[in-house]
Each structure stands twice: as structure tokens, then as C-alpha cells.
Homo-oligomer: A and B are copies of this chain.
Amino acid sequence: MELSIIQILLLSLLGACAILDSLMFQVGFSRCVVIGLIAGLIVGDVTSGLYIGGTLGLLILGVGTYGGASMPDYQSGTIIAVALVATSGGSLDVQTAVALAVPVGLLLLNFDILARYCNSYIVILIEKAVALEKYDLAYKYNLLGFLTWGGSRFIPIFLALLLGNAFIEDALDFLTTNASWLLDGLAIAGGILPVVGICVLLKYLPVKQYYYFAILGFLLVAYLNVPIMGVALFGLVIAVITFNANTNQPASVIGVDVIEEGDYDEYDE
């Protein structure tokens, strides 16, 4: 049976809600199993919806966009798979639909990267407004993010459902053949861009005076593979030592009063 235009709109909106919820209140709309349930309700086949959502959900259990690294968009994949099963009138079983969702997820990953790049433009607007002390305007610019993130899911899902499955395959081929150099380039640049933010931050911190502490942090990670949590704990130890050294409670309090705190008479029966 064909999807009505309202159903297509609802499913595309569900895609937008999924990404926005993952960035905001994280109530659960970004979880495949919840998306499968709602998509199933929209197309009237809750069981397949739950099945597809559950299977895809298991695939990315515990996987997250840590440090802003994009991951395959199985959320939109779930919506498209549920829609395909409904429109196939039973000829497409749920297993193949799930299999289909994987390449779709990979294709849509590029839209996630594009959204993050569009946001760079929003940030330029915000920083300009702040420089001109138009803070309220800068605050409002943030809301443009709803368009970039929302659009990065709404548009591809809407087009896919409207123009049917073939559209996705052609789009996939087109991108992988001649635009792949651009996509790879953007992905590589995405990995380097945090340099800008870190350099601005370094300009802010007393790097000229304390450069060697930054070197120490770097050595802990580069040579000793200490995760950031450990680096911070090492940093805490050094920060406390310098704090004591400066508030002239030198690390060496004369022995005599050292024992006050530890003086616990354990044997008071």
C-alpha cells in the first residue's frame, strides 16, 4: 500500500525529532527501538516496527558519537526500513529490510558531517554578533541549529520516501563515484578542525608561562597512553602540590603536628 503524504511528513519529522532529541533532552526518540515503535504506529505495523527497531538497536548498543565523531545513522535507517516493509505489501520480509537499513545508515552519515559543517557557519555568525556586543542576536543565532540538524535528517528521509527506494541507490552511487574525494576530504578535515578551538583556548590560557605543563599532559597521553581521566587526576595532584607550595604550607609541615589528623586511636573498645 502507498504511504500518504501525511505519513511521509510524519516519518520525516520523526527523523528530525530523533537527531534533535539525541542532542537535547535525550528522552529516547534517538533510540532505534523507540523509533521503530512510533514508525510502526504511523505505518500501522507495530510488530515489524518493533522488530526492525530492536534488531538495529542491538547493532549499535553502547556505540555513541564520542568526541563528535559521526556514526552510521541507523535511526533514519529504521524509519526507511519500516516504511519499505509497509509499502512492499508483505513481499519484503523484516530481515531484508534490516539488511537494507545498514547501507542507508552509512549514506546518511555524510548528512551528519554536513550538518556539523553548516553549524560552523552559525558559529561564525554568533562570534561576529558577540564582537559587536549584540548578545541577544548571538543567542538567537543558536536556534538556527534546529534547522541544520533537523534538515540533515528530514530532507533525505522525505526524498527517499517520496521518490522511493531507487532514489536512495542512485544518490548512493553518485556520491561514492564522483563526490567521494570531497566527502573523504571533509571527514579528514573534520578530524583536524578541533585544532582551531584548541588554539583559541591556548591563546586564552597562560601558555607562554606554563607551556611545560601542557608538554607534561601531552607526554602522559602520547608516551604513556594515559586516558584523559588519568591525565586529569595527575593534573589534580600537580595542581594541589603547586597550590600548597604557593600558600606557603610547603609540602613539608614540620613533623610534630603532622600526626594530628591521623591520630585515631583504633583500639577504644
Residues of A bordering B, CB below 8 Å: 127-128, 130-132, 200, 202-210, 212-213, 215-216, 219, 222-224, 226-227, 230, 233-234, 236-237, 240-243, 245-246, 250-253, 258-259, 261-262, 264, 266-269
Inside 8 A of A202's CB, which chain B residues have their CB?
262
Inside 8 A of A208's CB, which chain B residues have their CB?
261-262
How distant is the Cα of A222 from the Cα of B209 in the complex, in angstroms? 31
How distant is the Cα of A230 from the Cα of B258 in the complex, in angstroms? 26
Inter-subunit contact B262/A251 (CB<8 Å): no
Main secondary structure of the interface of A (DSSP, over half): helix
User: Who on chain B is nearest to A214 by CB?
Assistant: B237
How distant is the Cα of A115 from the Cα of B130 in the complex, in angstroms? 72
Name the contact of A264 in the complex, choosing from B130, B203, B212, B251 (C-beta under 8 A): B203
Inter-subunit contact B242/A246 (CB<8 Å): no
How distant is the Cα of A226 from the Cα of B221 in the complex, in angstroms? 12
Inter-subunit contact B215/A236 (CB<8 Å): yes
Inter-subunit contact A252/B262 (CB<8 Å): no
Copies in the complex: 3
Distance from A226 Cβ to chain B, minimum over Cβ atoms (Å): 5
User: Who on chain B is nearest to A242 by CB?
Assistant: B251
Query: Knowing A215-B233, A219-B237, A237-B212 touch, does A251 contact B261 (C-beta < 8 A)?
Result: no
Inside 8 A of A234's CB, which chain B residues have their CB?
216, 219
List 5 interface pairs A-B (beta carbons < 8 Å), by A numbering.
A210-B251, A212-B237, A219-B234, A223-B224, A224-B224
How distant is the Cα of A259 from the Cα of B224 in the complex, in angstroms? 31
How distant is the Cα of A236 from the Cα of B216 in the complex, in angstroms? 10
User: Who on chain B is nearest to A230 by CB?
Assistant: B223
Inter-subunit contact B226/A262 (CB<8 Å): no
Inter-subunit contact A245/B252 (CB<8 Å): yes
Inside 8 A of A223's CB, which chain B residues have their CB?
224, 226-227, 230, 233
Identify which of A207, A222, A233 gathers the most chain B CB atoms within 10 Å of its CB.
A233
Inter-subunit contact B209/A261 (CB<8 Å): yes
User: Who on chain B is nearest to A216 by CB?
Assistant: B237
Inside 8 A of A251's CB, which chain B residues have their CB?
210, 242, 245-246
Inter-subunit contact A262/B203 (CB<8 Å): yes
Name the contact of A242 in the complex, choosing from B203, B222, B252 (C-beta under 8 A): B252
Inside 8 A of A132's CB, which chain B residues have their CB?
269
Inside 8 A of A253's CB, which chain B residues have their CB?
209
Inter-subunit contact A131/B226 (CB<8 Å): no
Inside 8 A of A212's CB, which chain B residues have their CB?
236-237, 240-241
